[in-house]
């Protein structure tokens, strides 16, 4: 196996696939990246057995072959070479010789036949979307996924694709994020898949690296999702479980409505959070005619009170929230103003953008 290429021709695909490599592997081969050189293309593949990332680049191949090398070492070598440097790659026995100008690196290898690869998907359904549609839905919901919850189906994001819309939903049991976009995907049957947390992060990174108008090809089966975009292919196992009925969680009986500037509210919450309990991160929100008061305290008897003038003339209400959850929502809203609907101190709040309801955020109250 032998080829020569510019540094960037190796660095960019390596950066796309290395996210699949776990730092703590159950098997040494999972710390390696598979390199396959043939027919004028170099294919790079990385996996952790749950997610596989594969990138393919066109380049002259002097001698075809396949081998695996340590992924992160290979990436760091490429990253620290000068821009536009010429790289010579040569497999000699069970070692790879990597040369660039006066630099020379010798890397250990493992046989390509030992590398686990995802089998071809069995009779998948194909769906075509544009990058901006899928990226927007995932970006606006991913932050609400659970982390290591015993309810394993919460450690991921629900993707639904219908005839005229695509939607994403994520919840950790304390908050819920829902986003939808119009589309003309028209799948043969509606798609409903729970994508694992790690795969969502890699997919978000991948979609953010290509043009917004780029076509995204999805292949879906009951067990797998494959996403092909920008010369990179992501294949992931899906979570087998029943996602909660999110429509029952979204409150529809909020009778107190507040319209407020997102930046103003964000700054006030950030100030109050400084003196909140570091463990529970609670803030109290008191709403009455003309004012919104945000307060917090901690076990050291420290207290913060921040009063905002608002255009509100409804009944008074007081409710506690985790301030981090509120700030996450405000950072996700693509609007100057936020619309907040609440019922009372024991009910969840519904937060949306002022102008549309394509994204909905539910935050449960907390006792302070």
Q: What is the pTM of this model?
A: 0.93
Which CATH number describes the domain made up of 125-246? 3.10.150.10
- What average pLDDT does the chain have? 95
Please give the Cα distance from 54 to 12 (Å, whole number): 12
The CATH H-level (homologous superfamily) assignment of domain 2-114 is DNA Polymerase III, subunit A, domain 2 (3.10.150.10)
The ranges assigned to domains in the chain are: 2-114, 125-246, 251-363
- Euclidean distance between CA atoms 357 and 347, whole angstroms: 20
C-alpha span between 259 and 213 (Å, rounded)? 33
Say yes or no: do domains 125-246 and 251-363 share a fold.
Answer: yes
Locate the DSSP E strands across 137-221. 156-161, 165-171, 175-182, 191-196, 215-220
Check pLDDT > 90 for residue 368. Answer: no
Task: Count CB atoms within 10 A of the CB of residue 269.
Answer: 21
Residues 6 or more apart whose Cβ sits within 8 Å of residue 105: 77, 97, 98, 99
Checking if the pLDDT of 25 tops 80, the result is no
pLDDT tens digit string along 194-220?
999 999 999 999 999 999 899 999 999
pLDDT in tens, 113-131: 999 988 889 999 999 999 9
Q: Give 283-325 pLDDT, tens digit per residue.
A: 999 999 999 999 999 999 999 999 999 989 889 999 999 999 9
Is the CB of residue 251 less than 8 Å from the CB of residue 362? yes
pLDDT value at position 117?
Answer: 84
Q: What architecture is the 251-363 domain classified under in CATH?
A: Roll (3.10)
Taking residues 249-278, report their average pLDDT.
95
Encode pLDDT of 331-358 as tens digits. Answer: 999 899 999 999 999 999 999 999 888 9
Tell me what the mean pLDDT of segment 107-114 comes to. Answer: 96
């Amino acid at each position: 196996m032998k080829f020569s290429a510019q540094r960037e021709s190796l660095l960019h695909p390596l950066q796309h696939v290395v996210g699949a490599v776990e730092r703590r592997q159950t098997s040494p081969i999972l710390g390696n990246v598979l390199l396959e050189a043939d027919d004028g293309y170099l294919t790079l593949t990385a996996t952790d057995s749950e997610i596989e990332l594969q990138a393919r680049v066109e380049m002259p191949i002097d001698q075809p072959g396949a081998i695996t090398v340590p992924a992160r070492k290979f990436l760091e070598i490429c990253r620290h070479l000068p821009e536009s440097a010429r790289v010579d790659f040569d497999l000699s026995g069970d070692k790879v010789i990597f040369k660039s100008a006066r630099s020379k690196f010798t890397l250990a290898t493992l046989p390509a036949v030992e590398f686990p690869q995802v089998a071809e998907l069995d009779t998948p359904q194909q769906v075509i979307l544009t990058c901006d549609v899928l990226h927007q839905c995932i970006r606006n919901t991913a932050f609400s996924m659970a982390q290591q919850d015993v309810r394993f189906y919460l450690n991921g994001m629900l993707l639904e694709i219908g005839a005229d819309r695509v939607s994403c939903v994520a919840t950790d049991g304390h908050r819920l994020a829902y986003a939808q976009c119009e589309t003309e995907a028209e799948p043969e049957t509606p798609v409903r898949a729970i994508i694992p947390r790690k795969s969502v992060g890699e997919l978000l990174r991948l979609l953010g690296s290509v043009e917004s108008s780029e076509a995204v090809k999805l292949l879906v089966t009951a067990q797998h999702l494959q996403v092909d975009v920008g010369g990179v292919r992501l294949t992931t196992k899906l979570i087998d479980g029943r996602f909660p009925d999110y429509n029952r969680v979204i409150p529809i009986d909020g009778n107190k409505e507040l319209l407020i500037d997102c930046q103003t509210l964000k700054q006030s919450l950030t100030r109050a959070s400084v003196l909140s309990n570091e463990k529970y991160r609670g803030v109290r929100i008191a709403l009455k005619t003309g004012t919104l008061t945000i307060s917090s305290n901690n076990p050291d008897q420290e207290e913060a009170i921040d009063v905002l003038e608002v255009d509100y003339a409804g009944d008074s209400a007081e409710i506690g929230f985790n301030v981090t959850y509120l700030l996450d929502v405000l950072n996700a809203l693509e609007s100057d103003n936020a619309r907040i609907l609440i019922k009372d101190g024991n009910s969840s709040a519904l937060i949306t953008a002022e102008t549309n309801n394509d994204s909905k955020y539910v935050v449960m109250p907390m006792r302070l």
